[in-house]
Structure 1
C-alpha cells in the first residue's frame, strides 16, 4: 500500500519516504538554529536573516552544533537572496542547469517558512489556475460560486498564511499565465471577481521563482514582470575542486538517505 504523507509543516515523515523535504531532512539543524537565534526576525519567519544564511552556507553554532553547507558558492549570492526575501520584493534565481536553483529555493523556503511544499511547477501546459485559483466543479454546479467551491493555488495559500511559495521554471510558463503574477506581486492582492472578493497577502508572504537562462526565447519574461523581481544569478562552480566538493557532499547525503555504506 502506498504511504500518504500529510503536508503539515513539522510533521514527522515516515522513514520509507525516498526524499524528505528539506525541513524534515535537516530538522535538527533548523531546530538548533532557532534555539540559538536571538536576532530580530521578520514577520512569520522561523529564523532571522543571519540564521537563514548560516543554514545555507554552513557554520558552527556557539554550542558546537555544526551546520552543514547546503550551497557551496559565493556568500554574496546567498546574502542578496536572503535580503531580498526580507523585503517585499520577489526573488528570481537565474542560472544555467546544474547551478542549484531548485535546491537553493527549497532550502530558503524551508528556513524562512518551515515549509517548502508550496510549489508551482512551470511547464508549457501550466494553466492560470495553478497561480490564481480553480474551482471544484461538482460543488460549483450544486451550490453555485462560493468559497467552498474555490480551490486555492499554492500562491493563494501562501498569501493567506504569510508563507513563501516557489515557482519552478518560470520561463517555461506561457506568457499570458506569467503575467497573472504582475498585479499579485505589485499590489500583493489576488482578486476573486466571481465572488466580489479578494485575498490580500499578510506579512511574511513572498515568492521565489527559478528560471534557466538558456531558455531565453521560450517564454521571455515581460519587462513589467521582471521589474517585480530582484534577480540573483547563480554561477557555475569556480574550480574543479569546488565541483568535486559539491558532488562529494551530495553523494554522501544521497547515500545516507538510501542507507548505503559510506564510500572511502
Structure 2
C-alpha cells in the first residue's frame, strides 16, 4: 500500500526524516555555509570556546566579502559600532542586554550572535509572565526524585545551567516579562558565575566562554522593571529603529525575500513599490508626521515596527502568489496594513481614516493604493 492509499485508508503515514524540512531553521543551520567559510578564513584571536573571533562575528552580522570571495549576507542593518560594542561585551564577563522598541530585531540579533559565538542558538529561556525560576536555574525529574531522592540524575538543567557548564552563550528573551523575583535568580549567575544547588550541596561553576544575552523592549517599562542590582550586571545596547526610509525598505526587502524562499512562495516581479508604500505609511504614522514634514498625523496605539511591515508584505506576497497573478499590488497589502494599524477598533480606526483622507488620497501616484485601502476599510 503506497502513502496516498494508506492516508486514504486512515492509516498514519511514516515519512523519512529527509522529507521533514524545518519551517524556520536555527541561524546556525540556515547560514551554516557562511559560518563555515568564516571559520576557515578567520585567523584573528578568538576568546575561549568561541567559534569565531570578535571581528568575524561582527562580519557575520553586518555582512561583507571574505578574501576567498565568499559573500556574507547582512543579518542586521544598522550602526556598525553598536554591533561591535555588543560583540565586545560578550568577550568580557559582562552580560549583554539588547534593548529597544518592538520590531528592532533584538531577538534576531540575539540568535545570530549566539550562533556565531557558540555555534548553538538554542540555549533559550523565553520570558513570559508565567516563567518559573526553574527555567533559569534547574528543575527536577519528579519520578526520579520520588524514587531515589535528590541526585544529579534527577536534576533537569536549565538552558542557562547547560551554557555555564559548556562555556556557551545562553539567551533570555523578553526579560522584563519575567516576574521580578525570577529575574533576580540571574544575579548570582551573572556576578559570581556560579549556580548553587543546595539540595545536593553542590554548585555549577561557569567555564570560560559562558555569557548571557537578554532582550527587553522599551514598551514593557513598568511591567517588571529590572532591579538596579540586576541591571548593573548587564551592558545595555539600545537597538534603534531604521534611520531612513531607504534603510527600512532594504531591511524589509531582504527579510521578505528570505521568508518567501523558506515558504516556497513563487518568485514574482519586484514588489519594491508596494514595500516602499508600506514602509512609508508605517513610518509616518509612527512618527506622527509625513515624510516631507508638512503634515502632522495622529499615531495609532500599535508600534508599526519593521517586523510588522515584513509580516504585511510577506502576507501580501502569499496573496498575490495564490490568489492573484503573482504581482504584488496594493490590494494584496491593504488588509494587512489595516490589521496592523487598527488595534483599537474605536480610536485607531479614526486615526486610519483621517490619514487616508488627508495624506494618502492627496499623494500623487497613490490612487490605486488609496482605493484598495478604502475598500478594505469600509
Q: Please give the alpha-carbon distance, in whole angstroms, between the structure 2 residues aligned to 1:33 and 1:135.
A: 40
Q: What TM-score do the two structures reach when normalised by structure 1?
A: 0.95
Q: Which residue of 2 aligns with 1:212?
A: 217
d(CA) in 1 for partners of 2:95 and 2:216?
13
Indicate whether 1:172 and 2:177 are aligned: yes
Q: Distance in 2 between matches of 1:142 and 1:123?
A: 32
Flag the structure with more relative contact order, 1 or 2, with Cα contacts below 8 A and sequence separation at least 6: 1
Tell me, yes or no, if structure 1 residue 239 matches structure 2 residue 244. Answer: yes
Cα–Cα, structure 1 residues 158 and 254, in superposed 2: closer, same or farther, change >3 Å?
same
* 1:38-49 paired onto structure 2 within 5 Å: 38-49=43-54
Kindly state the Cα deviation for residue 261 of structure 1 after the two structures are TM-superposed: 2.6
Deviations 1:7-59 (A, max 9, x none): xxxxxx86521000000000000000000000000000000000000000000
Name the structure 1 match of 2:164.
159
Pairing 1:76–2:81 present: yes
> 5 Å matches for 1:75-94?
75-94=80-99
Q: Secondary structure at the match of 1:253?
A: helix
SS of aligned partner of 1:186:
helix
CA gap of 1:48–1:195, structure 2 versus 1, over 3 A, is same
Q: Secondary structure at the match of 1:83?
A: helix
Q: TM-score of the superposition, structure 2-length normalised?
A: 0.66
In 2, the alpha carbon distance for the partners of 1:205 and 1:16 equals 31
Match of 2:226, SS state, is coil
Alpha-carbon distance in 2 for matches of 1:162, 1:14 = 34
Equivalence for 2:254: 249
Instruction: Give unmatched runs, 5+ long, in structure 1.
Output: 6-12
How far is 1:146 from its partner? 0.3
State yes or no: 1:53 paired with 2:58.
yes
2:127 paired with 1:127: no
Pick the aligned partner of 1:65 from 64, 70, 77: 70
Segments of 5+ residues of structure 2 without an aligned counterpart are 1-12, 271-378
Matched, 1:96 2:101: yes
Separation in structure 2 between the aligned mates of residue 139 and residue 66 of structure 1, nearest angstrom: 50
Counterparts of 2:26 and 2:217 in 1: how far apart (Å)?
23
Instruction: Report the structure number with the largest CA radius of gyration.
Output: 2
Deviation per CA, 1:152-186: give whole Å up to 9, x if none.
00000000000000000000000000000001100
What number of residue pairs does the alignment pair up? Answer: 257
More helix by share: 2
Q: 2:228 aligns with which of 223, 244, 260?
A: 223
Give distance in 1, aligned partners of 2:196 and 2:115.
28
Q: Which runs of 4+ in 1 moved over 3 A?
A: 1-5
- Match of residue 148, structure 1, among 146, 153, 178: 153
Aligned counterparts of 1:164 and 1:156: Cα–Cα separation in 2: 11
Q: Quick one: distance in 2 between partners of 1:190 and 1:111?
A: 25
Task: Give the strand-richer structure, 1 or 2.
Answer: 1
Change (3 A) 1:107 1:223: same
